[in-house]
A and B are shown apart, each in its own frame.
Chain A
């Protein structure tokens, strides 16, 4: 190789100069966009100044080279030689500046890193805060859902217990430490005869009949924390007494101090009555058996006494002392036989004849016999016989005896008042399974203390010689034989006024034979 042409180098110089200008300005554009996008970023600021200085350097150098090539190609070497030192000077100056800018980067980057570190720390803190906020938000949402669910559960639970409290047929009450009632359900107030709309301010002291019972209740509650199956008597608003089965629990606060009690009470009055009736039934049954035995044993000697006394009467004519005595013996023996016959009726030893009976017809017959006697004593008879009364099956004679007994008792009760009203009524039960006949008077009534004994044999309030005390016992036995029941009401609740008045009502309840379309005339 003897020579090297310089035109490839010159061509490269020109093309390279142009490309340098282009790339430097493209770089400067992006650096500008970067700083515009993130003006606070030091690095972009540095790169912008770097690119700007580089662009200035590129223009200085590349333009210098281009001008050089143009001037030299056009043969203006002298002009280039005059311009060359200036272009070279600029090149040197800008290259030095570029280096200086790069070195300056050192201090700037330290500051930037410190800021970045701080910003990173802040970002980290901010991120943690955001995460915490998100967690709190989630927890808050969960909490809201939990509270909502819990509220629903509480509401359902409250509704359930409220329904139990309101709808319970037993008395439910809450009282404070001084036994003052705080709350009582409607059944409780109804049981005690108070109005639910205007409930009174009650204390257990007002409710318990016996103060001793209340003291025992209070002591046991404090000692054991509860009582159960305690039978006590409560006083109703009208002063009457109901028998109660009571269970109660003490309420203590967090400190363990007694703050009150809650209790449930069940009205056992009806059960107690039924139990008494049952006991009475058993007693009556045993008495009946005993009476039957005694009657059977006495009947024979009475027959012998009566027979011999009648034989002796033939030997002692009337008017003699012996004849009079024998008449007394005969009369008293017959009275004894009647008692024995009644006892046998009571104990169901007598034979019974069953047939379909119209109770209205029977009562009409009974009243036809007794009404005259009643009217004589200024007793008015009022009939209220149901036209659609069902018939019954039974022994007409025995049942007639029952109603005669009740009417006689009413007669005696009103006799002392020198007059009164007798009400005789019949009706079907609501389910038409029973026929109910009521004999009601407005006499002196039956005192509470003897109510339990009126059906006992030989129990009577009449003077000696006026009654045997077997009338109601026999009636009881006959009704029992007919699978019926007798209810006694004294004093009587007036239908119109809703208040209780003097008098007694016997309700005879007998099984009905009621066919569809069947009607009974009175």
Chain B
């Protein structure tokens, strides 16, 4: 067994030396092309959705009492919807061309040029993602306030 171990070490050192002395094409750094950013962002959305779904399920499973935890579940639902809308919006940006957005006299006059396709409509409505995120944060606010008040009542008792 001692002889065998010594042989393996020798082979490993020899291989490392060959790789260092005779580099044919170094792959030490991977280059990141333009779509990688959006892929990572979309994966982050999926990761966030998963985390929120888990949180929602676990809160239901744990049966924490009080309004605060129900508000937190509603936050999770709204945030999941927001993530879906945002994910869809980012996906639509890949479908919509730059020429589909017309700007005549400044940014405020920007519009989606016709003809209006379903993709353009979806893209347009995904621009209103705050209609989900703002209620989500509002529910989170209600959740935290409710939990705090309940905690104060328990302390008083």
Is chain B found bound to chain A in the same assembly?
A: yes
Would B55 and A102 count as touching, CB distance under 8 A? yes
Interface presence of A13 (CB below 8 A): yes
From A20, A38, A72, A95, B45 is in contact (CB under 8 Å) with A95
Q: How large is the interface on A (under 10, 10 to 19, 20 to 34, 35 or more residues)?
A: 35 or more
Would A51 and B144 count as touching, CB distance under 8 A? yes
What is the chain A residue whose CB lies nearest that of B90?
A88
List residues 36-73 of chain B with CB under 8 A from any CB of chain A.
37, 40-41, 44-45, 47-48, 50-52, 54-55, 58, 62
- Report the Cα distance A92→B42, complex, angstroms: 9
Would B114 and A16 count as touching, CB distance under 8 A? no
What is the chain A residue whose CB lies nearest that of B115?
A2
- Report the Cα distance A3→B112, complex, angstroms: 5
Contacts of B151 in A (CB 8 A): 34, 37-38, 41, 44
Q: How far is the CB of B90 from chain A (nearest CB, A)?
A: 10
Q: How far is the CB of A63 from chain B (nearest CB, A)?
A: 14
From B121, B124, B129, B155, A37 is in contact (CB under 8 Å) with B155
Would A23 and B138 count as touching, CB distance under 8 A? yes
Stretch at the interface among A4-12, A365-373, A452-460, A509-517: A4-12
Stretch at the interface among B1-9, B22-30, B101-109: B101-109
Count chain B residues whose beta carbon lies closer than 8 angstroms to a beta carbon of A.
49
Would A9 and B114 count as touching, CB distance under 8 A? no
- Report the Cα distance A95→B155, complex, angstroms: 34
Interface presence of A347 (CB below 8 A): no
Interface presence of A58 (CB below 8 A): yes
- Report the Cα distance A189→B9, complex, angstroms: 120
Q: How far is the CB of A142 from chain B (nearest CB, A)?
A: 29
| Known contacts A37-B155, A47-B147, A91-B41; A6/B110 CB under 8 A | yes
Would A99 and B47 count as touching, CB distance under 8 A? yes
Would A73 and B107 count as touching, CB distance under 8 A? yes
From B51, B111, B121, A102 is in contact (CB under 8 Å) with B51
Contacts of B54 in A (CB 8 A): 102-103, 106
| Known contacts A16-B134, A34-B148; A23/B111 CB under 8 A | no
What is the chain A residue whose CB lies nearest that of B139?
A23
From A4, A13, A44, B111 is in contact (CB under 8 Å) with A4
Q: Which of A17, A69, A92, A109 has the most CB of B within 10 A?
A: A92
From A8, A17, A20, A27, B144 is in contact (CB under 8 Å) with A27
Would A1 and B114 count as touching, CB distance under 8 A? yes
Contacts of A133 in B (CB 8 A): none
Q: How far is the CB of B47 from chain A (nearest CB, A)?
A: 4
Can you report 13 residue pairs joining A to B where beta carbons are below 8 Å apart? A10-B110, A19-B130, A23-B140, A27-B140, A30-B145, A54-B137, A73-B108, A85-B37, A95-B41, A96-B47, A99-B44, A102-B54, A109-B62
Task: Name the 4 nearest CB pairs between A and B, nearest first.
Answer: A16-B130, A9-B127, A30-B144, A2-B114
